[in-house]
Every structure is written in structure tokens, then in C-alpha cells.
Amino acid sequence: MPTAHPPTGPARNDFGRRLVQRRTELGLTLRETADRAGMAANYLKYVEESPTAVPGWNVVLQLVGALETTVTALTGVDTNSPPAVPS
């Protein structure tokens, strides 16, 4: 059985970093996660590693289910952000 390892290069966006972290916590390989989410492993790798990857909500929801987590945890909407600068 293959073991789960983070990708060799760092994830390049916050969503990708959270995705890799959760996948690793569960001990899942990239291929296992892609299979669970019903998507191609190459696309999942792109989402994890590309600085320009912006997956649609359908993909986010598939990954939430596959990784047994929440939209809030995976998208990071619960993280603290600086207040908006008034215009």
C-alpha cells in the first residue's frame, strides 16, 4: 500500500497548502484523494501546486467530502484577516 507524502515542492497558494495538510493528516496519497473526490490526479496536483489554481465550488465541495472536512477549514475563511482599508 502506498504511503502518503506531501508533494516534493511546496504548495503555492493557501488553498493548496491546506489541501496538502489535510490530505497528509489523513494519510492519503494524491491519487487516493483524487479517486475519493472523483477527479483526475493530475488536476488535483495542479490545484495543490499551482499559484494560479482557483477551483470552482463544485471541486471544493468534492474535496471537502473526500477529505472529511468543512468548506470553512479547507478554504480558510475562518482565518483572521486585516480589516479592510476604508476608501
At 2-27, the pLDDT tens digits run: 545 444 455 468 899 999 999 999 99
At 33-82, the pLDDT tens digits run: 999 999 999 999 999 999 889 899 999 999 999 999 999 999 887 655 55
Helices (H), the chain: 14-25, 30-37, 41-49, 57-66, 71-75
Domains of the chain, CATH where assigned: 14-75 (1.10.260.40)
**Alpha-carbon span 36 to 28, nearest angstrom:** 10
What integer pLDDT is reported at residue 79 of this predicted model? Answer: 55
Taking the whole predicted model, whether its pTM rises above 0.95 is answered as no
Reported confidence tier of residue 31, pLDDT bands at 50, 70, 90: very high
